């Protein structure tokens, strides 16, 4: 039920974006990203819990943080984008 | 606008507060360290999404001459990036320490200490990400 209301709220917020002043729209966009990221993080953490419950194999340990390099590059790229701003 | 971003931050904190906790599922030193690495991984994934949107917001605000707003987003990106620069190498070292522990090279206490360092660095990363 909570998921249904959440999806409805998110759709409403996305639909309202063009109606908002620019600064408010940017804040809403970031807020929506936070909510998406929170949902994804919970799913990732649940996968880790499941892994621990069944006993993580060496291969699973190897696979942990498989996106680390990609994520590091992405964060550095975002940093480079804002560092050149006046 | 500031009130709205605070509200969104509260929402993000609320969502993370009801998140599952891998540390509750760890019964061994390597399990504890895996929970720490997994928590870092999830925090890093969330951070990527947040900084990408914040960088886009900073560019837009800057182009529109909203310097204070652009500076706020810029400070957020830099804070998250700084925290990630510290936590990333600790996460890599912890991952290696798990393998070494399993190979009998590293003690359980040493692995736990390494995992604690990562847990602390991950908290800093999460804190930086939630501070917008």
ipTM entry: 0.88
DSSP-assigned states of every residue in B25-70: G--SHHHHHHHHHHHHHHHHHHHHHHHHHHHHHHHHHHHTT-HHHH
Closest partner residue to A27 among B4, B98, B102, by Cβ? B4
Q: Do B33 and B45 touch, CB atoms closer than 8 A?
A: no
Q: How far is CA B44 from CA A19, A58, B4, B51, in A?
A: 32, 22, 24, 10
pLDDT at residue A54, rounded to an integer: 94
pLDDT at residue B132, rounded to an integer: 64
Q: Which of B14, B21, B50, B82 should we substitute to test contact with A (largest number of A Cβ atoms within 10 Å)?
A: B50
Smallest Cα–Cα separation from B80: which of B111, B47, B112?
B47
Closest partner residue to B46 among A41, A47, A58, by Cβ? A41
Ramachandran region of residue B62, left (φ > 0), alpha (ψ -120 to 50) or beta?
alpha
Q: Do B108 and B91 touch, CB atoms closer than 8 A?
A: no
Q: What does pTM read for this prediction?
A: 0.88
CA distance A75 to chain B (A): 6
Which A residues in the span 50-69 are in contact with B, Cβ-Cβ below 8 Å?
51-53, 56, 58, 61, 64-65, 67-68
B108-116 contact pairs (CB < 8 A, 24+): B108/B28, B108/B29, B109/B29, B111/B29, B111/B30, B111/B32, B111/B33, B112/B29, B112/B32, B112/B33, B114/B33, B114/B90, B115/B29, B115/B32, B115/B33, B115/B35, B115/B36, B115/B37, B116/B36
pLDDT at residue A10, rounded to an integer: 79
CA dist., res. B127 & res. B87, Å (int): 12
Element (H, E) at A1: none
Mean of pLDDT over chain A: 89
Q: Which of A34, A36, A66 should we substitute to test contact with B (largest number of B Cβ atoms within 10 Å)?
A: A34
Q: Which of B2, B6, B7, B8 should we substitute to test contact with A (largest number of A Cβ atoms within 10 Å)?
A: B8
pLDDT at residue A7, rounded to an integer: 78
CA dist., res. B76 & res. B78, Å (int): 5
Which two tokens mark A31?
Answer: 């807020």
Question: pLDDT of B24-69, one tens digit each?
Answer: 999 999 999 999 999 999 999 999 999 999 999 999 999 999 999 9
Residue B14 carries which DSSP code? H
Task: Flag if A45 and B20 touch (Cβ within 8 Å).
Answer: yes
Task: Flag if B50 and A37 touch (Cβ within 8 Å).
Answer: yes
């Amino acid at each position: 039920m909570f998921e249904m209301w959440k999806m409805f709220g998110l759709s409403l917020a996305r639909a309202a974006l063009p109606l908002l002043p620019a600064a408010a729209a940017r804040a809403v966009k970031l807020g929506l990203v936070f909510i998406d990221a929170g949902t994804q993080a919970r799913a990732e953490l649940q996968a880790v819990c499941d892994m621990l419950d069944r006993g993580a194999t060496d291969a699973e340990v190897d696979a942990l943080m498989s996106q680390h390099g990609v994520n590091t590059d992405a964060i550095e790229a975002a940093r480079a984008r804002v560092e050149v701003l006046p | 606008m500031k009130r709205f971003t605070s509200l969104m931050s509260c929402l993000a904190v609320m969502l993370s507060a009801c998140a599952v906790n891998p540390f509750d599922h760890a019964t061994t030193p390597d399990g504890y360290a895996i929970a720490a690495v997994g928590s870092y991984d999830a925090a890093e994934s969330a951070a990527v999404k947040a900084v990408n949107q914040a960088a886009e917001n900073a560019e837009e605000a800057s182009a529109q001459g909203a310097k204070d707003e652009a500076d706020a987003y810029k400070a957020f990106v830099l804070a998250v990036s700084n925290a990630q620069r510290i936590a990333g190498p600790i996460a890599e070292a912890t991952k290696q320490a798990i393998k070494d522990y399993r190979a009998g090279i590293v003690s359980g206490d040493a692995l736990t200490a390494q995992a604690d360092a990562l847990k602390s660095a991950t908290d800093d990363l999460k804190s930086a990400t939630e501070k917008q």
